[in-house]
Amino acid sequence: MSPSTDRQTDPAAVTASLAAEAALLEGRLSQLREAIHSVDARIDALSETLRRLQRPATGSTGVETPVG
């Protein structure tokens, strides 16, 4: 008999092992979601900055302000 077939696998041990692995994966998934949220926020902030830089500078009268 081969080593993999002569030994019985304890269902409780397998269940506990899978539950522990699932908990680790859920924790990692949470970390990845937080990182994605952080990157999204940075992208939004940079996009807004770029939009503001691309708009023509105007004074309170609505007339463009000369630069320099």
Instruction: Give me the domain span that covers residue 43.
Output: 11-50
pTM equals: 0.58
**Amino acid identity, position 5:** T
Residue 45 in domain = yes
CB 56 within 8 A of CB 64: yes
Query: Model confidence over 15-30: pLDDT tens digits?
Result: 999 999 999 999 999 9
Residue 34 in domain = yes
Q: Radius of gyration of the chain from Cα atoms?
A: 29
Query: Model confidence over 2-15: pLDDT tens digits?
Result: 555 546 789 999 99
Q: How many domains are there within the chain?
A: 1
Residue 16 in domain = yes
Distances (CA, A) of 24 to 10, 34, 51, 52, 68: 21, 16, 41, 42, 57
